[in-house]
Amino acid sequence: MSEPRTALVTGGARGIGAEICRQLADRGLRVLVGARKREAAEEVCRGIGPAALPLALDVSSPLSVTEAVREAGELLGGGGIDVLVNNAGVSLDGELRPPYLDEEVLRATLDVNLLGAWRVAEAVVPGMVRAGYGRVVNLSSSYGSLALMDSGRHPAYRVSKTALNALTRMLAGELAGTGVLVNAADPGWTRSGMGGAAAPRGPEEGADTPVWLATLPEGDGTTGGLFAERRPLPW
């Protein structure tokens, strides 16, 4: 009997991230629940069962990323990570809008939403390429779509997601033909710590498109796209 695929979900301790972990485990994957606080990851794992393993991971820290991937290798007995869901993210904007700039907020937002995803991809994608199989899903937003951008609300968040979309396209192009598919998912306005209680969608709905992209079957060539409700969005 073959070993199950292994997925790493960053920001997996709550909201959409925790629901992505649950849905992936329900589909037979072994899930590494990444969270800044191991105790929070352990709580999610208890709710999922033995298919989930906790992992201390702060995507804003290069050292934490390196240590987490090393620990993941030990937990997996030398096995690799087949699926990466870059879910960790922040929204730190207040009411400030362009042309005014809060450089500290912009740097902090980019450090998690763009560089965090990039750091983890750098750490795990080479192993996917060697294995000839991989799925990378970056949690993005329609707010990052240039085609749909019509205001300056949430400026640092928007810029970070636009940059993440560019990273998605670059990775997809670089990895074409390797068996590694790279896509971005917009979960929609979802009830979570970031989305708030007024959002119309529950975590189950928000997790659907990321999980779909994370489990694209072999032979499916879907890569380099931005999707919402399993349908493509314009960049």
What average pLDDT does range 67-74 have in this prediction? 96
pLDDT tier at 200, thresholds 50, 70, 90:
low
Residue 35 pLDDT > 60, yes or no? Answer: yes
pLDDT in tens, 176-194: 999 999 999 999 866 666 6
Q: Which residues are catalytic?
A: 157
Task: Count the alpha carbons within 13 Å of 118 in the hemisphere toward its beta carbon.
Answer: 15
Nearest by Cα to 90 from 16, 41, 18, 157:
157
pLDDT of residue 113: 98
pLDDT of residue 195: 58
Upstream peptide bond of 98 is cis (omega within 30 degrees of 0): no
Q: Is 17 helix (H, G, I), strand (E, B) or coil?
A: helix
Q: Which two tokens stand for residue 173?
A: 């192009």
Strand partners, 135: 83, 181
pLDDT of residue 192: 66
- In the numeric block, the tokens 């931005």 are attached to 226
Phi, psi of 62 (to 5 degrees): -55, -40
Chain-wide mean pLDDT for the chain?
94
Output the DSSP codes for 173-220: HHTTTTTEEEEEE---SBSBTTTBTT-SB-HHHHHHHHHHHHTPPTT-
On the 0-12 / 13-18 / 19+ scale of CB atoms within 10 A, 50 is exposed
Q: Which segments of 62-112 are extended strands (E)?
A: 83-86
pLDDT tier at 216, thresholds 50, 70, 90:
very high
Question: pTM, whole model, 2 decimals?
Answer: 0.95
Q: Which two tokens stand for residue 115?
A: 């560089």
pLDDT of residue 135: 98
DSSP letter at 82 equals: -
Percent above pLDDT 70 for the chain: 95
Q: Are 116 and 34 in contact (CB under 8 A)?
A: no
pLDDT in tens, 101-134: 999 999 999 999 999 999 999 999 999 999 999 9
Contacts of 224 (CB under 8 A, 6+ apart): 168, 169, 172, 173, 182, 183
